[in-house]
Amino acid sequence: MSPYALAQLIAPDGKRLVSLSQNESLRPPSPLAIAAAAKALAAGHLYPDPDWGELRAALSGLHGIPAEGILCGNGSMELIACLTQAFADERRAVLAPVHAYPFFRTAAQLARARFDTAPEIDGRVSVDALLQRVRPDTGIVFVANPGNPTGTRLSRDELLRLRKGLRKDILLVIDEAYGEFADHLDEPMFDLAESGDTIILRTFSKAYGLAGMRVGWGLFPGEIAEELRKVMNPNNISVAGQAAATAALADQDYMVETCRQTAVLRDGLQRRLQLAGYDVSESFTNFVLIRMGSPDTARRADEALRAEGVFLRPQGGVGLADCLRVTIGAAENINLAARLLERWAEKEKT
C-alpha cells in the first residue's frame, strides 16, 4: 500500500498560510452546534451514546427516513472502511470510477480486496463503463456523487440505471459527502436503500462545517447494517461530536446559507479562471478542478502558488496529474488564488 496522501501545509517564511486544499467549509459550524459541543464537554467523563439516539432521530426527522436504518461513523471514512472489511476480501473485489475518491482504494486494500476501476468520460462517471467492468467476483461498487475530485455528478436516472444493471449480490455504495451542495436539484436517493442492496453515505464535514468533529452517517438496508455493526467501534463518535451534529441539523438555514455562499464564490472563481484561459468544469461541490494542460504545467503552477503561501491540491494520486483542485474558502483567499492563477496564465503566454 501507498500511504494516504495528506496535504502538505507549511507556508514559506514570511507568508500567510492560505489552505485551499482540504475541502473544508468556508464558514465555522452553526453557533448552535458550537454551543451544543461546548455544553457536552461537561459529560466528557462518560462514554458516548453507542446508538447515536438523538442524532439518528434528528436525521430521521429531517430526511424522512427510518432511524433504524441509520448508522453513524467517525466521519464517512469509517463507514467506507467498515463496509469493505465486512463485504470485501480476496474473493469479493471492489469497483469504482478511475478518478474516484482515493480512500475507496485504501479501504479495499485494507480488506485485501482487488480494486478495479472503470474509465470516466471528460471527468464524469460513466455508468456504461462501470457495468462493463463488473466481473464475476465484484462485490462492491463505490460511486461518489457529486464526485471528488472532479466535482461532477450523475443524475438520479443514471444512478437508477446503474443499480438496475448490477447483480443483486453487488452492493452499490453512493457516497454523497457533498450531497447538500446539490440538494437544490431535488433528486434524493435515500429510497434506494429500501431495495436491500444500496447504501447512501453522507457527512457533516462539508456543508455543516464539522470536519474537526468527525461525524459521518449513512442509510443502510437492515441486514447490511446488522453485519456492519459487528466491525464498527461501538464508541466511535465523541459526546461533543454527537451533540454538535444534532444541533447543526436544527439550524438548516445556516447550512443552506453556507451552501449558497459557497456556490457564489465557486461559480465566480470558475468564470474568472475560464476567462484567464483555464479549463474548469462545472462543479456541484465546494471546490473546482482546474485542468492545467500537462502534469509539468500543473507542477510549476502549484510551486508558484506555494511560494506565495497558497496551497491547492495536486491530483496525481487519482490519475489527474495535469490538474489542481481548489477548495472554496473565504472570499479574500479565493480572490488571492485567482489573482495568482491569472498572473501565472499571463506569464505562460509570454
CATH superfamily of 18-27+253-349: Aspartate Aminotransferase, domain 1 (3.90.1150.10)
Confidence of residue 5 (pLDDT cuts 50, 70, 90): low
Query: What's the rounded mean pLDDT across residues 216-223?
Result: 95
Per DSSP bridges, beta strands 279-280 and 313-315 are unpaired
Query: What's the rounded mean pLDDT across residues 245-274?
Result: 97
Q: What is the pLDDT of residues 119-146, one digit of tens each?
A: 999 889 999 999 999 999 999 999 999 9
Closest of 94, 109, 184, 181 to residue 143, by C-alpha: 94
User: What whole-number distance in Å separates Cα of residue 126 and Cα of residue 139?
Assistant: 19
Residue tagged 462501470 (cell numbers): 130
Residue spans in the chain of domains classed CATH 3.40.640.10: 31-250
Q: Which residues contact 271 (CB under 8 A, 6 or more apart)?
A: none
What is the dihedral angle through the alpha carbons of 15, 20, 26, 31, rounded to the nearest 10 degrees?
Answer: -70
What are φ and ψ of residue 287, in 5° steps?
-155, 165
Q: In this predicted structure, what is the pLDDT of residue 23?
A: 94
In the numeric block, which cell numbers belong to residue 38?
A: 461546548
pLDDT at 80 over 70: yes
Prediction pTM value: 0.93
Per DSSP bridges, beta strands 313-315 and 310-311 are unpaired
User: What whole-number distance in Å separates Cα of residue 337 and Cα of residue 290?
Assistant: 12
Count, residues in the chain = 350
The strands making up 138-144's β-sheet, listed across from edge to edge, are 70-73, 216-219, 198-203, 171-175, 138-144, 93-97, 115-118
Which CATH class, in words, describes the domain spanning 31-250? alpha beta
pLDDT at 329 over 70: yes
Q: Please report, rounded to a whole number, the percentage of residues in the chain having pLDDT higher than 90.
A: 87
Residue spans in the chain of domains classed CATH 3.90.1150.10: 18-27+253-349
Q: Which residues contact 167 (CB under 8 A, 6 or more apart)?
A: 134, 138
CA distances from 248 to 32, 69, 176 (A): 6, 21, 18
Q: What is the pLDDT of residues 285-327, one digit of tens each?
A: 999 999 999 999 999 999 999 999 999 999 988 889 999 999 9
pLDDT at 4 over 70: no
Q: What's the half-sphere exposure (Cβ side, CA atoms, 13 Å) at 348?
A: 18
User: What whole-number distance in Å separates Cα of residue 261 and Cα of residue 25?
Assistant: 10
